[in-house]
Structure 1
Amino acid sequence: MRPPTRLIHAVKVWVRRQPPKVKAFLAVVSGMAALVLLRAVVHDHDNLFVAAEAVHAIGISVLIYKLMKEKTCAGLSLKSQELTAIFLAVRLYCSFVMEYDIHTLLDSATLLTTLWVIYMMRFKLKSTYMEDKDNFAIYYVLVPCAVLALLVHPSTSHNILNRISWAFCVYLEAVSVLPQLGVMQNTKIVEPFTAHYVFALGVARFLSCAHWVLQVLDTRGHLLTALGHGLWPSFVLISEIVQTFILADFCYYYVKSVLGGQLVLRLPSGVV
């Protein structure tokens, strides 16, 4: 065993033996170290948001490959795809009426591919869809997100409907992956392409969260004022952080599986 491999193995064994609180602390420290590294390497932090959307698009491409080449949608959550399509459609509406930029084009491409995935799952590959495992009731997230958007939304000069819609898509994006995590928890075994897709979502969420955190640090908090007044700026950051932590546990087991040379990811109970 070569020295680098031996060192990695020793670190893995040490981390595995630590209690949950220590693992959580190590995860936070690792996240902060990654933020420091990104701040030093990436000078224009707007590029992090573009990178997040690009990684999301890569994840969708993995799904397209799975659906076209393997002719199966087993292990995928149709409800997560539908929630993704909803928040992307709402965000596109907000982009067209409030702020049209490069993100609008990226979201348009992602929405089209997401709709194609939904079409394949609903019609072409319906026989392979694991409907019994995809049992998350989406109104559990749609209703709370809508209520929260009514209560906490931007205080800008835009039309009230547009401001509520903007808040709704921010909140919905934060929890749209929950049905997919539910399917994986129900099956316990996650095949490679689904694992790659969800890991890409995790990376995208981290980059997006890093974008907002670093922007706040760079502007010394002035960005929060630019986003509006009241609770809204804080809720934007909280939504980004929630998205990251929802996927953090899965990403840990994904990396652990990859380092162990396993193609199929096996999740212990209670991971997601």
Structure 2
Amino acid sequence: MGLTRGGNRSAIQAVGRWVRKQPTRIKAALAVITAIASLVFLRFVVHDHDNLFVASEAAHAIGIAVLIYKLIKDRTCAGISLKSQELTAIFLAVRLYCSFVMEYDIHTLLDSATLLTTLWVVYMIRFKLRASYMEEKDNFAIYYVVIPCALMSFLIHPSTSHNLINRVSWAFCVYLEAVSVLPQLRLMQNTKIVEPFTAHYVFALGVARFLSCAHWVLQVVDSRGYLLTALGHGLWPPMVLLSEVVQTFILADFCYYYVKSVFGGELVLRLPTGTV
């Protein structure tokens, strides 16, 4: 058993070294092939693809639970980006507003719970554990993402029958969610070493983003493109899909190193220069 486990670990490490040596175009092609294979697998294994979106929100909730455990157990917020948490709270609050006025379903309840726990994390970092907050490392200027997302939401938004404010708000939360993790990735790039609980949290976000993206892509495939027309016309439908793809690939590189670290038996994740 030990030899088998050791052999599997060596094989994974060998594959990891081979992938790392490949040029960027080959790595991108491998990532696309892996994503397509995963989508095909999910299409045949998960019969109701709406469950993928629920699973996405559940994965996000698990990630937040890991952060809460870290804050309570270790009494430190080192390695956690306050700015990412604040961006997450913003897009969740806007999405919750849209959910109340536009649909109100199970996702409204899930978003409510996730928003409350995210606000608690923000409160703990700002007031209770401020001494351990890596403010100098958390140096991503959030207006770099908030302002472009706001401008884009005015230019490209749904063309449904809802009023303009609701449609722009819907677009804003979609765009902001896609890039809300960037401050967290910048902080980890600055520190180079990611402790386990933070790594688990970011990996959970990566899983959540992929499941959400899979939900949209498979829904479009199953409806033979009808879902795109149901979302409206113009640039909005492809922008929804693009936002899902972008937020998935933003975290793909980190998730690769996370999986490699776990299979390598390393408790602390060390990121190479230029990873995120």
TM-score range (shorter-chain normalised) is over 0.9
**Structure 2 residue aligned with 1:31, among 28, 35, 45?**
35
Describe the SS at the equivalent of 1:205. Answer: helix
Per-residue Cα deviation, 1:66-115 (whole angstroms, up to 9, x for no partner): 00000000000000000000000000000000000100000000000000
- Give the TM-score normalised by structure 2: 0.96
Q: CA deviation at 1:9?
A: 4.4
What is the number of residues matched between the two proteins? 272
Q: CA deviation at 1:148?
A: 0.2
2:145 paired with 1:138 = no
User: Could you tell me which residue of structure 2 aligns to residue 178 of structure 1?
Assistant: 182
Distance (whole Å) between structure 2 residues aligned to residue 87 and residue 226 of structure 1: 23
2:274 paired with 1:265 = no
Superposed, 1:229-240 pairs within 5 Å as 229-240=233-244
Amino acid at match of 1:267: L
Distance (whole Å) between structure 2 residues aligned to residue 167 and residue 250 of structure 1: 27
Amino acid at match of 1:234: P
Distance (whole Å) between structure 1 residues aligned to residue 221 and residue 235 of structure 2: 18
**Structure 1 residue aligned with 2:133, among 107, 120, 129?**
129
- Give the TM-score normalised by structure 1: 0.97
Q: CA deviation at 1:173?
A: 0.3
Distance (whole Å) between structure 1 residues aligned to residue 15 and residue 81 of structure 2: 34
Superposed, 1:1-272 pairs within 5 Å as 1-2=3-4, 4-5=8-9, 7-272=11-276
Q: Kindly report the root-mean-square deviation, in angstroms, between the aligned alpha carbons of the 2 structures.
A: 1.1
Q: CA deviation at 1:259?
A: 1.1
Structure 1: which 5+ runs fail to align? none
Amino acid at match of 1:188: K
Identity %: 79
